Structures are given as structure tokens and as C-alpha cells.
Amino acid sequence: MKKYIILLILPFLMGCDKENFSNNNPYLPNYGFSLNINMSLPQYSNLQFPSNAVYINNGSAGVRGIFVFNTGGSYVAFDAACPNQALSGCSTMTLSGINAVCGCDGASYSLFTGQAAGMQYPMKQYRVEQIDAVSLRVYN
């Protein structure tokens, strides 16, 4: 009986691996980067409050820049490139409250989940590490 219980629990334990992070998308290249964010600076100060996002396009983070969002309990970061479009002039998303909107197809993606209704691919997500009360590290 104990063997069966272990076999039932094993898949759940294996699914909790933090290093098994996949953000592959056939439309978007996979660039490596690391970016430190100091939320005490004016351009990032909105991140200190829940349900606020900032767009960062410094030329080295993400494909078309990144959105960093305070969910109220943690931080998430997504690429600003439309996940269901080939790269083009309209494929950089814009912030609209708690959503990111693709200029090509008008799809609205939740910054809480990265998902949009009826779309095949979610937003390309990046890792976020909170270093201290006012510092974040976003990386791929």
C-alpha cells in the first residue's frame, strides 16, 4: 500500500522544480539578460504599490522590452512583444491598466497571469527575484 501512495505523490513533488522554468515561444527569440531594478528611483517607484506596472525598454531586457508588475503579493515580469505575432512594427504591446494590449490583433493579456482569452500562447514570462524591500532582479 505504501508503494502506491508514493507513486501517487511522486508526480506532484516532481512538478515543483523551480529550475524547470519554460518560456519558449516560436514567435519570440530567447535572449539571456539580467536587470536590477531599484524601486526607490522615480521611474520604478510605482512598483512599490499593488496592481502597478512599469515598461522597461533599455535595449538589453527582453525582445521588445519588459513589463514588470506588482501582483500584490509578488512581482512578475513579461516580455513586451506580442506572443502570438511574428515580430513586426505593431508587435510591441502597450500597458492598459492591469493588462497589456497587442497593437497587431488587439488581444488583451492579463498582467496577473500573462494569459489572453482565446490566444494560443501566453506572454513570455521571465524570472523575478526580490533582493530586498526596494530591489528586484529580472532575468532569463
Checking phi first, is residue 50 left (phi over 0); if not, alpha (psi -120 to 50) or beta?
A: beta
Rounded CA gap, 61 and 55, in Å? 11
Which grid cell is 115?
Answer: 494569459
Nearest to 78 by CA among 61, 91, 90: 61
DSSP secondary-structure letter at 44?
A: G
Beta partners for 77? 68, 126
Q: Where do the domains of the chain lie? A: 22-139
Task: Tell me which of 102 and 4 has the higher pLDDT.
Answer: 102
Architecture of the structural domain at 22-139? 3-layer Sandwich (2.102)
Dump pLDDT digits (tens) for 49-105: 999 999 999 888 999 999 999 999 999 999 999 999 999 999 999 999 999 999 999
